[in-house]
Structure 1
Amino acid sequence: MNFNLLKKEIKFTYKSSILWTLLFVLFTSMYIPISNQLLSQSGDLLKFINNMPRFLLESFNFNEQVFTKPEGIFGSEGMSFVYILGAVFATMLISNVFAREYEKGTIEYLCVKPISRSTLYITKFINIIINILFLNIIFTISVVSMYAIFMEYEYNPEILIGFGIYSFTVQIFFSSLSVIISILTQNSSSNMGFSFAILIFMSFGDTMANIIDATSWIKYFSIFHYIPLTETVLEEKIFWINSIIIILISLGIYYFSYYLFKNKDINI
């Protein structure tokens, strides 16, 4: 690994990552206090939920039992948004690290320097991991802190840690997909287009699979099915093994992308 190159990579991405981290922190600082207020008025909230059509409840992941638990409101609706926001962050991060370097021709310049493609790829990979780790560590700390400050009801802190693990898992997975798409297309627009299409398929596909029996097969192709928020809250169980498997699959995609990066010609 080339430390000078790593410093350059970090310098190129740290401002964007800090802004995204602030966005995650601001989201938790607004959502968790509201969750506490909603929980204090859970009777009225449950009456409202019970009057909603079943199809609509399942579409938006509303569950009566979930809304009676302190981790429930943030852990269902809030974390669903964090999943999507995290996938978008990961995709845009990779666009900056890989795709735009192809577009601007800077990747070609780096490849003719006395730096091997292996070193270049590994350095970029380490930078990606640093950025994702930084965001999720701060995000997890903010969630735990906001619960400690604002939540007046007894809750399970381990579940909050699980939310941070899930967020990290989603971002690692979508970053790995985005890397391979960036290397194949060498274009940031294509990268974001394909990545967002996969995100929509997995997110809404998982929702539709739970509503319409004919589409139930779709959920098996969505990572969100394997790190379910409702089950995590209701069963107070973190799906560690599933998260680890998704992370390992993501690292496998990164490893395959490494060989593509070493051998694929750069479009001029």
Structure 2
Amino acid sequence: MIKKEFSDMKLRTFVLLFLGIGFFFMVAPLHKFALEMLNEYTQIPNMPRFLERFLPKGFVEKLSEWNFYIYTQWFGKNLGQFVPIFAIIMGFPIFAREIENGTIEFLLARSSRKRVFISKVLTVSLVVFFQMIVFSILPAIYSLFASKNLDYTYLLAYSIHTIVGALFWLAVTILFSVLSDDQVKPILGAIGTLAGTTVVAVFKPLRFMNTYSYILGGKILSNGKMDVPYTLVLLGLSVALMLLSYVSFLKKEF
């Protein structure tokens, strides 16, 4: 059954994998070009205020350091922004498509609900985990072949933030997929939740709801370590959401 599940998501898996790798090679090789372009902006006389906000004093000098550039521009910007979206794309049809197409009855006639649920969730979770691992080790592989000096002390922390963030949003999406009767609702529900938690975080008491702050790893370079409490909270919520999805799947009438 796991082979069948992977076959169903094979196209999404490799499209997102190649997209992620493509995004990386739009960032890493352009280090010198980005520096030259930013240096030109900083030399503009009477620089507009909005540019000063985007280019604070000393920022360009920091970007000249390979570690600061690749960690902030890959994990802290490009990859981090797409992690929840990639997880949602991988997870939204996992149950909803079977329900919408009426094939869920066929699956349940051949296997127990427990086996169907575990097979589907395990497969998509392993795929997302593999994708995030690949995206996370790209800086190390590129640095090795490009003769760049990468500080690996930050790599593990950024990788954990990326993987845990992806698995959390996958768990959110799976719940919507179980509860929905078509493939549109899980996408709208998951993206709506992502947008809502991001927007309400503009209020200081609700800043903790913005998972992007965690996924982007803004504090890792300054603190030198991952955010352990937030990691544990997201892992706990992910497990809770998976259990809720499992119970809902067992009780759902098809």
Same structural fold, with TM-score higher than 0.5 when normalized by the shorter chain? yes
Secondary structure of residue in 2 paired with 1:158? coil
Task: Normalising by structure 1, report the TM-score.
Answer: 0.80
| Partner in structure 1 of residue 112 of structure 2 | 116
Partners of 2:147 and 2:91 lie apart in 1 by 36
Identity among equivalent positions (%) equals: 17
| Counterpart check, 1:264 vs 2:252 | yes
| Partner in structure 1 of residue 181 of structure 2 | 186
Q: Is the 8 A contact 1:71 1:233 kept in 2?
A: no
Secondary structure of residue in 2 paired with 1:156? coil
Q: Which piece of structure 1 moves more, 255-264 or 7-16?
A: 7-16
| Partner in structure 1 of residue 161 of structure 2 | 166
Q: Is the 8 A contact 2:94 2:120 kept in 1?
A: yes
Please give the root-mean-square deviation of Cα atoms over the aligned residues, in Å: 3.1
Q: Is the 8 A contact 1:83 1:170 kept in 2?
A: no
Q: CA shift at 1:12, angstroms? A: 1.2
Q: Is the 8 A contact 1:91 1:175 kept in 2?
A: yes
Q: CA shift at 1:233, angstroms? A: 2.1
Partners of 1:94 and 1:147 lie apart in 2 by 32
| Partner in structure 1 of residue 210 of structure 2 | 222
| Counterpart check, 1:19 vs 2:7 | no
Q: Which piece of structure 1 moves more, 220-229 or 188-197?
A: 220-229
Q: CA shift at 1:101, angstroms? A: 1.1
| Partner in structure 2 of residue 212 of structure 1 | none
Unmatched segments (≥5 aa) in structure 1: 210-214
| Partner in structure 2 of residue 102 of structure 1 | 99
Partners of 1:177 and 1:56 lie apart in 2 by 38
Q: CA shift at 1:54, angstroms? A: 6.3
Judged with a 3 Å threshold, the aligned counterparts in structure 2 of structure 1 residues 47 and 104 are, in CA distance, closer, same or farther, namely farther
Task: Normalising by structure 2, report the TM-score.
Answer: 0.84
Q: Is the 8 A contact 2:162 2:215 kept in 1?
A: no
| Partner in structure 1 of residue 221 of structure 2 | 233
Judged with a 3 Å threshold, the aligned counterparts in structure 2 of structure 1 residues 68 and 122 are, in CA distance, closer, same or farther, namely same
Judged with a 3 Å threshold, the aligned counterparts in structure 2 of structure 1 residues 194 and 86 are, in CA distance, closer, same or farther, namely same
| Partner in structure 1 of residue 25 of structure 2 | 29
Q: CA shift at 1:167, angstroms? A: 1.9
Partners of 1:254 and 1:225 lie apart in 2 by 23
Q: CA shift at 1:226, angstroms? A: 3.7
Judged with a 3 Å threshold, the aligned counterparts in structure 2 of structure 1 residues 135 and 227 are, in CA distance, closer, same or farther, namely closer
Q: Number of aligned pairs?
A: 251
Unmatched segments (≥5 aa) in structure 2: none
Q: Which piece of structure 1 moves more, 223-232 or 138-147?
A: 223-232
| Partner in structure 2 of residue 137 of structure 1 | 133
**Which runs of structure 2 are paired with 1:9-88 in the superposition (5 Å)?**
9-39=5-35, 44=40, 51=47, 53=49, 57=53, 64=59, 67=63, 69-79=65-75, 80-88=77-85
